[in-house]
Each structure stands twice: as C-alpha cells, then as structure tokens.
C-alpha cells in the first residue's frame, strides 16, 4: 500500500472550521475504491496544525487519487486556508492494514 502522512498548518482564523472546509475533499477521497483510510487529527501542541493519515491500496490507487477531479478541486480551494505548503511523508509498504502495537497489547 501507499502510506502517507501529511501536516497542514491552517490559518488561525480557519483552524476550527478545517474539518468542514476539507469535508467535501475528505468524503470524496474516502469514497474512492482504492482508498484504505483518510483520517484527520488535530495536533495537541498546535491548534492550527492538522495531521492527515491516509493510505491507498497501491500505486494505481494513489495515481487515481491525485488525478481525480476532487483532488484538482482541493488544489484550487484548500491553499487559501493554509499558512504554508503542507509537509508530507509518503512510502510504499508491504501491508494492507494496520498492525497491532504488541508493546501495548490489551488482554
């Protein structure tokens, strides 16, 4: 799978509304057949920072995502709400789901 983590620094006046602002893009991406997950979290240290954790089945699914109409629309719409260009880590990993964190196993 393609595993991606990206950090988005939102303008302070829009930070509380970011889930709604990014909502159409989020819903459309989650509906893609190759999307495994697409989850936003808000930083505990910086209320203007959101972290996106996403995964796609494979390179073809990742390519379909970045070539989709909703991705192109997000490229047009979302930067107006950002303080800076988002930071990203993207890796291909030999997995298709999350693994258990054995060091904190719950019995």
Q: Please report, to the nearest 10 degrees, the dihedral formed by the alpha carbons of residues 100, 61, 31, 74 taken in order.
A: 110
Is-contact 39 9, C-beta < 8 A? no
pTM score, whole prediction = 0.93
Q: CA nearest 40: which of 71, 4, 67? A: 4
Rounded distance between C-alpha atoms, residue 49 and residue 82, angstroms = 10
Percent of the chain exceeding pLDDT 90 equals 99
Is-contact 18 41, C-beta < 8 A? no
Q: Report pLDDT digits (tens) over 5-48.
A: 999 999 999 999 999 999 999 999 999 999 999 999 999 999 99
Fold designation for 2-91 = Alpha-Beta Plaits (3.30.70)
Rounded distance between C-alpha atoms, residue 83 and residue 66, angstroms = 22
Domain boundaries in the chain?
Answer: 2-91
């Amino acid at each position: 799978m393609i595993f991606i983590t990206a950090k988005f620094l939102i303008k302070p006046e829009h930070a509380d509304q970011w889930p709604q602002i990014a909502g159409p893009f989020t819903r459309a991406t989650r509906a893609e057949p190759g999307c495994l997950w697409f989850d936003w979290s808000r930083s505990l240290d910086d209320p203007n920072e959101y972290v996106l954790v996403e995964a796609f089945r494979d390179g073809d699914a990742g390519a379909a995502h970045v070539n989709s109409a909703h991705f192109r629309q997000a490229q047009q719409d979302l930067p107006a709400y950002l303080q800076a260009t988002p930071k990203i880590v993207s890796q291909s990993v030999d997995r298709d789901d999350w693994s258990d964190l054995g060091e904190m196993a719950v019995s």
